[in-house]
Chain A
Amino acid sequence: MSDDRRRELETQLSAYLDGELGLAERRAVEALLETDEEARALLKQLRATVEAVRGLPRARASERLIESLRARMERQSLLEGRPVPGRTADGGRSYRKWMAVAAAIGLVVGAGYLAWPWAQEWIARPGQQYALRLDERQHEHLAEQGLPDRAPGAADEERMAGAPPAAAPVEQPVADAAVDRALARTAPTERRVPMAKPADDKVEAAAEHSDEFTAFFARPSADSTVLEATFADAVSRRAAVTWLREEYAFQPVSPPGQPLETASLEVRVPDVQSARRVVSSLRQTLSADNLRIVSREDAPPLPVVVQQEPAVAALSDASSRSFEMVDSSDGEEKAAMRVDARHKAAFEGRAGVAVRSADDGQGAHGASSAPAASIARRPMRASLPDTAITDAATRSAPALGTEIEQVETEPSLRSPAAAPTSQPFQRLATESRHAPLPYTLWLYIHVEPPATAPADVNPPASPDE
């Protein structure tokens, strides 16, 4: 046998070891092994090498991997406020898909839908881009109908006076400690955004979480951006408008005569970096979920009609219905709902739902003012009149420090068309998944360089940088 042939056969030894040779090749290698001691020694060494590698320990994917995967998806969606890369034209569907898989994984690992109630809320969440899908005819139709917003009453004013700037507390899905920590890591050191030239180019990191945003500002002609903020109710929207005017000097841009609570807002900043800072800060404060960037071209022409969806309008008639959460954790049913003013307002603002308090059992007006943080997380049983209110309650449960154990439709409150009794929560939530969010606020941020830039004013570095 020639040396070349011998070397060629030697290179087949690994494949021989793996059983990957054809019949003819295998016989040739075996013939070599019968006569060649070196070849046999080499085969032995290769076998020992393979066995040594195969003997390495293996890792088991712990629940931590699943949990981390889930948390990463949550964090990505919550903090970056963006649909995942690779999103298609439907945008929001891809966005919801991520949250849906997070929920699904939670189910697979046995946490079940109870272990992660607010994930269900994301599944059920309607697309924030809903307003953009309206064509001109639909916009005109809405305009002809007038502003559907109800007139603010005294109770609304009271709520607004002490209302925090967070948009749509009903919609706020953050109740998970991991998410809280993630939010804390990126929280700005101060809420007011400096409208000055940044120290250096690193400021662009402030907005790096948004592909949409980066892509938008990559266009050299972009001199303004438009944000679409979605709120659950008029109260939340008005609270945010007030806060945006005070903190960021946003100004109403709607035509004269249009009520402030339905106005669009605009602000002028000196440069792109400042605009980015505004967006970054708003994302964190208004909740990334409620805020998304739309391209200037896609934004509707001013004035913009603030919509109220039919489903929500129907809910406004539900004020006579009652809502209560019953603590049955110790096997004994008792009223244990304790809500602070903000959450109480959230419930009322959302669906005209009365909340019976633990103190007097007389309805919403007797609700305790205990802070939400003091409410122990415990399973609650909710009796709800219909799927839409179920949806609202489900979204609010985490913020209230509760977990929804089971949702039932209460027979005495059920309308003929409502779902049958004792439906599991997931089923009800699925039924109401297409209920859209009602209110949209358009924020216009214009980049308008000042005549002389304040070169000596540099904003403090934000943690994002």
Chain B
Amino acid sequence: MGKETVGSTVAELRTADEAVLVESARSGDMNAFSRLVVQYQDRVLNTCWRISGCLEDAEDLAQETFLKALESIATFRRKSCFYTWLFRIAVNVSISHRRRKGRRPRLSLYCGDGQSDGMDPPASEAQAPDPAARLTAMETRQLVEEGLDALDDDHRSVIVLRDIEGFDYQQIAEILELPVGTVKSRLHRARMELRDRLKRVLKV
């Protein structure tokens, strides 16, 4: 069995397992729902963080996402995958929150000694050989975060889903309920805009 086949099989089993969990949750099995929470909490949290632009709010938003999912899981249509449905909620919750709060000056939550509760420092910072290099890496990260934060919601969402959460175009299309072609063009425009903002630090 080739590697790809093994991977596909694992993915299929995972999907099947998830489908069982979702079905159980729909019929009121809260252990099943809690397993789904545990399975997706990290990714939902990061999605909320990067779209809302605020780690402090992200935890609340992740909670909100799961609460909303629980509220409406009985009405969840099995036409789409559970995770696309869940991330759609996460995206909508985060964008709504951002609009509600309005755009505000962004403060980095990753500063000082480079450690922050519950956050993995990027490899570029953790492995930097000397303090100066680490500082540069941190500044770069901060600029990237600011650049991402400056994008409009549509562009930020598509970049977060693709480049941070690693969804493919088809999955992003399902999450955002857009045609795949729109996802493709929107992602390219978003990256171009971000590239323009990051030209100074990208050094290419």
Contact = CB atoms under 8 A, between A and B. Distances in A.
Interface in A52-104: 52-62, 64-66, 68-69, 72-73, 84-86, 88, 93, 97-98, 100-101, 103-104
A45 interface: yes
A68 B59 contact: yes
B164 A108 contact: no
A447 interface: no
Nearest to A55: B122
A101 B70 contact: yes
A interface: dominant SS: helix
A90 to B, nearest CB: 11
B169 A15 contact: yes
Interface in A25-56: 41, 44-46, 48-50, 52-56
A105 interface: yes
Interface string A248-266: 0000000000000000000
Contact of A14 (B31, B45, B187): B187
A107 B31 CA distance: 8
Contact of B148 (A14, A53, A104, A108): A53
Contacts of B33: 101, 104
Interface string B20-54: 00000000101101110110011011100110000
Contact of A59 (B46, B162, B185): B46
Given A55-B141, A66-B37, A108-B34, A72 B188 contact: no
B202 A45 contact: yes
Interface string B178-200: 00000011011001101100110
Interface residues of B, number: 64
A50 B191 contact: yes
A80 B96 CA distance: 24
B118 A54 contact: no
A17 B44 CA distance: 25
B37 A105 contact: yes
Chain B CB within 10 Å — which of A41, A58, A100 has the most? A58
B50 to A, nearest CB: 7
A15 to B, nearest CB: 5
B6 interface: no
B185 to A, nearest CB: 6
18 contacts: A13-B188, A15-B184, A18-B168, A45-B202, A48-B202, A52-B140, A52-B198, A54-B163, A55-B141, A56-B148, A56-B164, A59-B45, A60-B119, A60-B120, A66-B38, A69-B63, A97-B28, A101-B70
Interface of B: 28, 30-31, 33-35, 37-38, 41-42, 44-46, 49-50, 55, 58-60, 62-63, 66-67, 70-72, 74-75, 110, 116-125, 140-141, 144-145, 148, 159, 162-164, 168-169, 184-185, 187-188, 191-192, 194-195, 198-199, 201-204
Given A61-B44, A66-B38, 7 more contacts: A15-B169, A53-B194, A56-B148, A86-B72, A97-B70, A101-B33, A107-B34
